[in-house]
Amino acid sequence: MSKMTVEVVTPERVVYSGEASMVIARGVQGDLGILPNHMPLVTPLKVAPVRIKTDGDQETKIAVSGGFMEVHGEKVTILAETAELPEDIDVDRAKRAKQRAEQRLNERQPDLDQRRAELALQRALARLDITNSL
């Protein structure tokens, strides 16, 4: 089976680097499935989990908060604002963040930054999704 190199990078560190048979990410136009030999592509990413399929049924999930994905040759590079592996996530903290964001969105205070509250909810949901705690 053909493989490609995948790197997930934030301003602070390389979160993931390895070989993969497929990458599934959520771009601003919808979900993308990237296989080896994919045509070159650069796309902005939404706040959502990225799934990296490796050997057989093995899969690595990473919570990504925005950024870009570049596909060039046999390499996929994700440049993310933040990216977290499941073992890096405090599930209780993510649940509390989800509750706070939902509460803010439901209360609709006049000084509410709607976009900021929506992004906070999306980040919390992505974190909980990759830890299977939704």
Q: 123 is written with which tokens?
A: 């980040």
Tell me: the pLDDT tens digits for 31-67? 999 999 999 999 999 999 999 999 777 999 999 998 9
Report how many domains make up the chain: 2
Whether residue 101 sits in one domain with residue 78: no
Whether residue 109 sits in one domain with residue 97: yes
Tell me what pLDDT residue 15 has: 97
State which residues form the domain around 100.
89-130
Whether residue 94 sits in one domain with residue 37: no
3-state DSSP of the chain: CCCEEEEEECCCCEEEEEEECEEEEEECCEEEEECCCCCCEEEEECCEEEEEECCCCCEEEEEEECCEEEEECCEEEEECCEEECHHHCCHHHHHHHHHHHHHHHHHCCCCCCHHHHHHHHHHHHHHHHHCCCC
Residue 1 confidence class, pLDDT cut points 50, 70, 90: low
Whether residue 60 sits in one domain with residue 121: no
Based on its alpha-carbon atoms, the radius of gyration of the chain, rounded to whole angstroms, reads 16
| CATH value at residue 106 | 1.20.5.440
Whether residue 77 sits in one domain with residue 56: yes
> How many angstroms separate the Cα of 65 from the Cα of each of 3, 14, 50, 119, 123?
25, 15, 10, 9, 7
Give the predicted TM-score (pTM) of the model.
0.89
Which residues fall within 8 angstroms of residue 44, CB to CB, at 6 or more apart? Answer: 27, 28, 66, 67, 68
Whether residue 111 sits in one domain with residue 77: no
Which residues fall within 8 angstroms of residue 111, CB to CB, at 6 or more apart? Answer: none
Tell me: the pLDDT tens digits for 102-123? 988 888 777 778 788 899 999 9
| CATH value at residue 32 | 2.60.15.10
Contact 67, 81 (CB under 8 A): yes
